[in-house]
Amino acid sequence: MSMTQAFTPLMRELDRWQAAGRIADFWLRDDDATEPSPALDRLLALCAGHGAPVTLAVIPAPTGDALVQRLATAPLAEVAVHGWAHVNHAPPSEKKQELGGHRPASVVLAELQQGFAKLQGLHAARFAPLLVPPWNRIDRALLPELGGLGFRALSVFGPEKGGAMLEINTHVDLIDWHGTRGGRPPEALVAEIVARLQEMETTGGVMGFLTHHLVHDEAAWAFCAALLSITAGHPACRWRRVAEFTDR
């Protein structure tokens, strides 16, 4: 199946939205940025070429001025807080977590406060008060404390659960983490995007697309390029800054 054929169901779904006079909000979250790289350059150029904002989940501990300088020429890029150091504190018997219940909450919250302050200081106007937990996992008992640190929203993967913190999640992951560790088959990705759009008709919300520029293979880049090319110019699709949701 060609890439064009793989996207046919999405085109039909967006055409249906257009016929109904509706617009679907999409947002792009890319995880694990710390410094400039050829892969980051490629992502930023791709997004800029289609006028699509991108939210970079930046790991605070290792990042610094080099990323600030690179993003100075990327007006469509936003910066969110990706934990603190992206270090696993869970035992081998559990899934990886930095923000789990394995350490005192005061320690975890102090790291998040430090990360928030560092990225806000470095990135100023492009900073989004959004927490993206490493590995998309967090002890939900921490959520009531996040607002006091300045966070306006949380972003993990999967359906929004609601509760103590506004959730702006991602719903389709580009990467095949348990197989090739490259881009997933286009037809599977398109089917998940369409399913999310159909869900949004009744639940509202946004379609969050998750990428990891540092591990993209050519299949992943090709899908990203096709997705942006097909959607960015469609009247029923609008790529949004995450700040537009957190500022509501």
**In the chain, domain spans:** 3-246
Q: What is the pLDDT of residue 101?
A: 86
Q: What is the pLDDT of residue 1?
A: 67
Beta partners for 31? 57
Please tell me the distance from the alpha carbon of residue 13 to that of residue 178, in angstroms, as a whole number.
29
Walk along the chain (248 residues) in steps of 10 and give the mean pLDDT of each run.
Answer: 88 97 97 98 98 98 98 97 95 93 94 98 96 96 96 96 90 95 96 98 95 97 97 96 85
8-state DSSP, 219? H
At residue 201's C-alpha, the angle toward residues 186 and 49, to 5°, is: 45
Question: Residue 30: what pLDDT?
Answer: 98
Q: Does domain 3-246 have CATH number 3.20.20.370?
A: yes
- Specify the pLDDT at position 13: 98
